[in-house]
Amino acid sequence: MRIRFLGASIIALMAVLALSSVLFAQTRQQTGAQKAPAASNKPFDAHDLTGYWAMTNVGRPPGGLNTTSSNRPPMTDWARGIFGKTKTGYKELSSGVYPQRDWNDPAQWCDPMGFPRILWNPTVAGMRFAQTSDEVIQFFENGRVWRDLWTDGRKLPTGTDADPRWFGYAVGKWDGDTFVVTSNNYIDKTWLDQYGSPHSDQLTVEDRYRRTDHDHLEVIVNILDPKAYAATWKGDKRIFVLVDKPAGSEFNDFSENLCVWSEHKIQPKS
Amino acid sequence: MRVVGTQNSAQKLSRSKSERGFKMRNCFLGSFFALLAVLALAPVVCAETTPQAPSPKTPAAKAQPADAHDISGIWRMLGPGQARARAATVGGGASHPTLGNDRPPLTAWGQATWSQTKPSGRNSKLAYVFLPDQKDWNDPLFVCDPAGYPRTGGGNSLYRFVQLSNEVAEFFERDHVWRDLWTDGRKLPGNNAKPRWYGYSIAHWEGETFVVESGGFDGRTWLDLQGSIHSDQMRLEERYKILDHDHIEFSMTLNDPKAYTAPWVGPKQMMERMDTSDGVAPGIWGKKPDGTAYGDIREDYCVYSEEHSFWVNDNPTGDGDNFGNAVSGAQRK
């Protein structure tokens, strides 16, 4: 970004710092594991995920990573080629630590986060489920985006006809008391996390949701991408807690948490 | 007018699947430039001489009975006066302003704000100025800032409504965002609420009309391609009157005393039901057991890195532009 005037430089610096504080927010919040939640005795329907759910750090180690787990499998040669070009400021799982001016995380210029990264970036934010007769709708506070998790019997698109999407195509089904979501046809430009973990257009995500009691939800996100990884990237178990309303809510709903390019004006880097 | 990048972008469409992300962006921009071409080639379209669009005639109702209090489904907004779609949905190009051309006079504040707009859309009445060189335009959509409401629903965009127990959720193809239209009795927040790009909305039924009231908008968005402005005091009233199973009559009224001297009353427009978005590749979800299509709407994102490369050059590093000049996106503004 070419900025010629001192004033503009200061403004740009402030914008970068403001954005970086957002990008780092998760790291701050995830230091220190929380205690296991007390089980709720309230009656509940195990096949009803409706409500606002806030992610917790229960069961995760101090400084827990903002990705599905630390057990990332070995990358293929193809993925290593992609990963080697990523530049972030994080030590863990990244290809190296770079000064902020060199970061090329597409989130910096407000490109869509995509799934599953939207779960943990730019901040630990909530999700909400609503259920209808033909789908479960998954709303995310981050980016004010949603996913349709179709339960009406349709099959995932195969072949090459489906335009790839930032949030993919998803179908869901109940496996006992676990709601299993399978999704594919993702745009391969997104990172899986802030560390630059790449994926290909062959990515399939399996996310599993199990309501353990009225107030708690276990979530596991598994990543399958034979073009990018030598094995399935198995996700840690995350605990979400049911909340009456999202934290910081002004209207008993999700606040808007949108990335606005003109507030930061960071130009894309390759 | 210089129109750049379309050929390169079109060539990219034929490449591998991994590059088909360009297709979505190109779909949005393609429709946008198609619109520009139409506007540029057409005789000067003088809004002053364009009569108020007549109310659409009620189309022949299909056999299915309508649930008077159910607007679930995928809907396409037709242009004022249209009773049937003239073309496939083309995304958020906003070919016509949702509120129509009969904009009331601006206040002094509104006039000063409007005078800063440099839109790409040429309309002799709504646009403050038309600058032929795209480098002069300052439409916030060109840097992929949020479109906000009502612009995200402008033109012939698609709407999908899902009725839940306490709200009607409204989903948009553009930028894959949604609005909550709360029906649970809550009241709109006061003036101290943090402004939102998509506002705060509540809704109720008046007979067979679903009425949505909204406020608390972020004042930075434009209402249309022509650069119509609004303030943070904007209030909207939308009315969705169910005509039959497949048709809704839509109208919108904008009240913004900070920006306009009178309410801006939009024309009545028809919405028609669709089985699925015509922006979703046919057949990808298969067929239901009864032979009908599974409903779905597409993602239609404005992606800054792609937009940047389109406006500046095809090299995302930003060195140079399509005109052979050294220029960055920031300097373009």
Q: What is the pLDDT of residue B100?
A: 85
pTM, whole model, 2 decimals? 0.83
For chain B, report the end-to-end CA distance as a whole number of angstroms: 17
**Backbone CA torsion sign across B60, B65, B68, B72:** negative
For chain A, report the end-to-end CA distance as a whole number of angstroms: 13
pLDDT in tens, chain B (333 residues): 222 222 233 233 222 333 233 333 434 443 444 334 333 333 332 232 333 333 444 455 555 667 779 999 999 988 777 776 666 654 444 445 678 889 999 999 999 999 999 998 876 789 999 898 888 899 999 999 999 999 998 766 789 999 999 999 999 998 999 999 999 999 999 888 999 999 999 999 999 999 999 999 999 999 998 999 999 999 999 999 999 999 999 999 999 999 999 999 999 999 999 999 988 988 899 989 998 889 999 999 999 998 877 666 544 444 444 333 444 434 443
Q: Please name the member of B146, B288, B330 whose beta carbon is closest to the beta carbon of A1.
A: B330
Within a domain: A1:
no
Q: What is the pLDDT of residue B29?
A: 42
Which letter does DSSP use for residue B196 in this model?
A: B
Asked if A150 is an interface residue toward chain B (Cβ–Cβ < 8 A), one would say yes
ipTM of the modeled complex = 0.87
For residue range A179-191, list pLDDT tens digits in order.
Answer: 999 999 999 999 9
Residue A169, SS3? strand
Q: How far is A50 from chain B (nearest CA, A)?
A: 11
Burial (CB count within 10 angstroms: exposed 0-12, middle 13-18, buried 19+), residue A104: middle
| Contacts with B318 (C-beta within 8 Å, 6 or more apart), sequence order | A267, A268, B308, B312, B328, B329
For helices B304-311 and B21-41, what crossing angle results, to 10°?
50
Q: Do B294 and A1 touch (CB under 8 A)?
A: no
Q: Please name the member of B176, B286, B304 whose beta carbon is closest to the beta carbon of A261.
A: B304
Tell me how crowded residue A42 is: count the other CB atoms within 10 A of its CB: 9
Within a domain: A265:
no
Domain that holds residue A208: 6-33+47-251
Q: What is the pLDDT of residue A65?
A: 76
Residue found under tokens 């995304």: B91
Q: Do B162 and A130 touch (CB under 8 A)?
A: yes
pLDDT at A268 over 50: yes
Within a domain: A39:
no
Within a domain: A40:
no
| Chain A environment of B193 (Cβ under 8 Å) | 250-251
Within a domain: A185:
yes
User: Which phi-psi region, left, alpha or beta, contains residue A239 (left: φ > 0; alpha: ψ -120 to 50)?
Assistant: beta
The more confident residue out of B99 and A115 is A115
Residue A182 maps to which CATH number? 2.40.128.20
Residue found under tokens 């993702």: A186
Q: Do A164 and B316 touch (CB under 8 A)?
A: no
Q: What is the pLDDT of residue B264?
A: 97
Give start and end residues of each alpha helix (H) in chain A. Answer: 6-29, 77-83
Q: Please name the member of A110, A154, A261 whose beta carbon is closest to the beta carbon of B294.
A: A154
Indicate the number of domains in chain A.
1
Per-residue confidence at A161, pLDDT binned at 50, 70, 90? confident
Residues A212-223: what's their mean pLDDT?
97
Distance CA A169, CA B8 (A): 28
Residue B53, SS3? coil
Q: Which pairs with CB-CB distance under 8 Å and at least 24 residues apart come from A154-159?
A: A154/B285, A154/B286, A154/B288, A154/B294, A155/B285, A155/B286, A156/A182, A156/A183, A156/A184, A156/A185, A157/A184, A157/A185, A157/B281, A157/B284, A157/B285
Q: What is the pLDDT of residue A40?
A: 86
Within a domain: A19:
yes
Q: What is the pLDDT of residue B317?
A: 43
**Backbone CA torsion sign across A21, A26, A32, A36:** positive
Q: What is the pLDDT of residue B94?
A: 44
Within a domain: A260:
no
For residue range A60-78, list pLDDT tens digits in order.
Answer: 766 667 899 999 999 999 9
Within a domain: A99:
yes
Q: Do B18 and A269 touch (CB under 8 A)?
A: no
Q: Do B145 and A262 touch (CB under 8 A)?
A: yes
| Contacts with A148 (C-beta within 8 Å, 6 or more apart), sequence order | A135, A137, A170, B296
Burial (CB count within 10 angstroms: exposed 0-12, middle 13-18, buried 19+), residue B120: buried
Asked if A100 is an interface residue toward chain B (Cβ–Cβ < 8 A), one would say no
